[in-house]
Amino acid sequence: MDKVLADLIRISNIAGRDSTWVQGGGGNTSAKTDDGKYMYIKASGTALKDMNERVGWRRQRIDDVLSVIQDEELAKLDDTKRENEVMRRLLEACEDDVTSGARPSVESHLHAQLDKYVIHLHPMVIAAYANAKNGKGQLDKLFRNEKYPPLWVPYTDPGFLLARRIAKLTGQYKEQYGRKPSILILAKHGLFVTADSADKTLRIVNKVIKLCRSKLGVLKARKLKPAAEKDITDAQLAIRRAAFEVAGQYLPVKYYKPTEGVAAFMARKDAAKLLRTAALNPDELVYANGAALWLEKAESDTIIRKLKSLVQKGQKPSMAFVVKGLGLFVAAQEKTAPVAEEITNESLMIRMYAAKFGGVLALTKREQDFINNWESEHFRKTLVSGAGEGEVKGRIAVVTGAGSGLGRSIALGLGRAGAMVAVFDIDHKAAKETVEMIKGEVPDASAIAVSSDVTDEISVAEAFKKVVGQWGGLDILVNAAGVAPAYGLIDLPVDKWRLALEVNLTGYFLMAKAAAKVMIGQGMGGSIINLSSKTGLEASKNNTPYNATKAGEIHMARGWAMELGEYGIRVNSVCPGNVFEGSKIWNPEYIKVCAKKYGIKPDEVIPYYVDKTILKREIKGQDIADTVAFLCSDKARTITGQTVVVDSGQVMVR
């Protein structure tokens, strides 16, 4: 490997692993070959710490990169056209064996103008100055004894315009100091360090960060009372509902226990004021939708009002929320939430420090608009988020008995349809297998295994706590955990009868009770499905407990539909015909009972049942899952209290 590339990977990894240097994966690096012809540059979409011999970089022809910023024709184009064209040319300037299509950093034309090695970062300690009204004055003082002080770059729209401005400013610097700067501090953006050796570049970064940190002082965090679980849950539900109302998206809401920084922030009298500013920098705007929202109390109506007023002002609705006394909440897809959390945490620190240096300097409306329209940033974001689609996209679903049979098929089907699925089962190992299956099929899926006994109210409560704690809400409940003890009336042991009542009726009831409470509290409606059976409509022989309970489930659903309609919660029953695939109910013993009932051989049982259907078609788990996904989706918005039979045509509801 080229030694220059090896050096680049080394310094990138060192920089990327230091959490005081890099926040939210931001930053990029480059290194030029000895002949000055080529530049290795970090590629978009890979974090510095993950760069290696194979991924995370591109090699560009320096002349071609520089020709982009010298092109006066480009300067005449409008923003979007220009940046698209610039990106195309930066990509065209690549000459390497990389086949992944990874794009070179959107800041490569800036790198091309600097010394041999370049490290560019957005560290919090630099932003404390770069985002403060008196930040430049403070820096001048800090570096007053330096022969070659940092070059201060006033905020400039990123991309082509910034690269051109840097060209102009470094030229002026050279005239004044006899050489180009090795330290550049960009207002509302970050730090560039450049030198002729890899180690020297690292040393300078270290020195600048240390020096800047030395004047920041320590932020005092007050000891916080641990927040009550219920307050956290209520806040999650309120935020989720508000995000849904304003952004129209089903998003999980994650709670983060307060770090020292968040605790210090919440204790400040000026907390609300510090968050009343716009995004500090492009990263906060792109990855956290701007500043976090300050909430004295997490009430959904207040949050909706505040988010709507942001939107009316042409800003994006916040994704992060600081609730006084509780901590930080993030409403975002699971994959993007950690970045938003990290950036928000840092931004809270920056705001506190900037307050010391004359106040917070945030992006103006025009600067934000530029970023929002910026194709390259958009591209970076889509690379990180990997958004999924589906008819129940982002909805939080609980499926009981999902460790086997139909429950498992439904969990898989909802996962495919975009839901986040909590797999409930008394058999935890089986539940975990289902989770693996979902993740195996849907790479971006969110799924968790929750062990719970649906007949035990305490166990059910614990299980819901886990789901709501994890994702911050609930949209769908599918009751599928069921048993089918098959005996003739005079042989039926009472304990088997009682078991069926417990699982099939008490279990459905306890789950629905707990789910409805969460759904009502959340205020976003919801969908409950009781998985009954065609046997719930038409009795079958030697099946007393099943006949009774499956009919009971349908009728319970009807009653619940009447009670819950006013909250927008729909309740329906699905009645599958015989589904043999993956079912433990259809165990060899049960099949034998059926064979005996009809006077046929056990291996004739499945064909016998299929033959009874109008369509002569075996019903599979997916058929039931599709029906459930439909009933849970908005397409079924006017369907409630109904019974849908999925049996290839055997029983007809009248």
Ligand X SMILES: NC(=O)c1ccc[n+]([C@@H]2O[C@H](COP(=O)([O-])OP(=O)(O)OC[C@H]3O[C@@H](n4cnc5c(N)ncnc54)[C@H](O)[C@@H]3O)[C@@H](O)[C@H]2O)c1
Active site residues: 546
Collect all residues with Cβ–Cβ distance below 8 Å to 116 and sequence separation of at least 6: 31, 32, 194, 195, 196, 197
**Least CB distance to ligand X at residue 615 (A):** 16
Rounded (10°) angle between helices 507-522 and 457-471: 30
**Least CB distance to ligand X at residue 591 (A):** 11
The rounded distance, in Å, linking the Cα atoms of 325 and 223 is 11
- Region label for 259, one of left (φ > 0), alpha (ψ between -120 and 50) or beta (otherwise): beta
**Least CB distance to ligand X at residue 481 (A):** 4
With contacts defined by CB under 6 A, name the span among 32-40, 239-247, 320-328, 398-406 that binds ligand X. 398-406
403 binds ligand X (CB under 6 A): yes
Q: How close are the terminal C-alpha atoms of the chain, in Å?
A: 75
503 binds ligand X (CB under 6 A): yes
| Residues 130/188, Cβ–Cβ less than 8 Å | yes
**Least CB distance to ligand X at residue 440 (A):** 19
275 binds ligand X (CB under 6 A): no
**Least CB distance to ligand X at residue 465 (A):** 16
Per DSSP, the three-state class of 23 is coil
**Least CB distance to ligand X at residue 499 (A):** 9
The single residue listed with the structure tokens 């610097």 is: 173
Which of 282, 327, 388, 401: binder of ligand X (CB under 6 A)? 401
Side chain identity, residue 152: W
**Least CB distance to ligand X at residue 430 (A):** 5
Residues 576-605 that bind ligand X (CB under 6 A): 576, 578-579, 583-586
Which of 39, 86, 264, 481: binder of ligand X (CB under 6 A)? 481
Nearer to ligand X, 48 or 644 (CB): 644
The rounded distance, in Å, linking the Cα atoms of 280 and 292 is 11
573 binds ligand X (CB under 6 A): no
Which of 93, 139, 232, 454: binder of ligand X (CB under 6 A)? 454
480 binds ligand X (CB under 6 A): yes
**Least CB distance to ligand X at residue 413 (A):** 13
Q: What is the CA radius of gyration of the chain?
A: 30
Q: What six digits make up the tokens of 152?
A: 């201060």
The full DSSP string for 442-506 is STT--EEEEE--TT-HHHHHHHHHHHHHHHS---EEEE---------GGG--HHHHHHHIIIIII
422 binds ligand X (CB under 6 A): no
With contacts defined by CB under 6 A, name the span among 73-81, 205-213, 356-364, 420-428 that binds ligand X. 420-428
Nearer to ligand X, 44 or 479 (CB): 479
Which of 405, 413, 473, 523: binder of ligand X (CB under 6 A)? 405
Nearer to ligand X, 166 or 503 (CB): 503
| Residues 21/116, Cβ–Cβ less than 8 Å | no
- Give the count of beta carbons closer than 10 Å to the beta carbon of residue 617: 13
Q: Which of 330, 394, 467, 236 lies closest to 24 in space, CA to CA?
A: 330
Q: What six digits make up the tokens of 213?
A: 């940190």
Instruction: Tell me how far CA of residue 396 lies from CA of 290, 406, 439, 539, 633, in angstroms.
Output: 26, 19, 16, 34, 12
| Residues 117/7, Cβ–Cβ less than 8 Å | yes
**Least CB distance to ligand X at residue 473 (A):** 22
Nearer to ligand X, 190 or 577 (CB): 577
> What is the number of the residue whose Cβ is closest to ligand X?
405
Nearer to ligand X, 174 or 498 (CB): 498
Which of 533, 547, 572, 643: binder of ligand X (CB under 6 A)? 533
645 binds ligand X (CB under 6 A): no
Nearer to ligand X, 385 or 506 (CB): 506
Which of 27, 56, 482, 485: binder of ligand X (CB under 6 A)? 482
Residues 327-366 that bind ligand X (CB under 6 A): none
Per DSSP, the three-state class of 241 is helix
544 binds ligand X (CB under 6 A): no
Which of 430, 445, 548, 625: binder of ligand X (CB under 6 A)? 430
The rounded distance, in Å, linking the Cα atoms of 46 and 37 is 24
| Residues 279/285, Cβ–Cβ less than 8 Å | yes
The rounded distance, in Å, linking the Cα atoms of 219 and 263 is 10
**Least CB distance to ligand X at residue 401 (A):** 3
Nearer to ligand X, 349 or 430 (CB): 430
505 binds ligand X (CB under 6 A): no
Which of 453, 475, 623, 626: binder of ligand X (CB under 6 A)? 453
Which of 85, 427, 433, 538: binder of ligand X (CB under 6 A)? 427
The rounded distance, in Å, linking the Cα atoms of 585 and 545 is 14
Tell me the number of residues near ligand X by CB under 6 A.
30
User: Chain centroid to CA 413: how far?
Assistant: 20
| Residues 55/48, Cβ–Cβ less than 8 Å | no
Q: Which of 607, 606, 570, 612 lies closest to 588 in space, CA to CA?
A: 606
With contacts defined by CB under 6 A, name the span among 87-95, 113-121, 365-373, 421-429 that binds ligand X. 421-429
H-state helical runs in 373-444? 375-385, 405-416, 428-441
407 binds ligand X (CB under 6 A): yes
Nearer to ligand X, 194 or 549 (CB): 549
455 binds ligand X (CB under 6 A): yes
Nearer to ligand X, 359 or 507 (CB): 507
434 binds ligand X (CB under 6 A): no
Burial group, residue 507, by CB count within 10 angstroms (0-12, 13-18, 19+): buried
507 binds ligand X (CB under 6 A): yes
With contacts defined by CB under 6 A, name the span among 238-246, 312-320, 396-404, 486-494 that binds ligand X. 396-404
**Least CB distance to ligand X at residue 547 (A):** 11
**Residue ranges binding ligand X (CB under 6 A):** 400-401, 403-407, 425-427, 430, 452-455, 480-483, 503, 507, 531, 533, 576, 578-579, 583-586
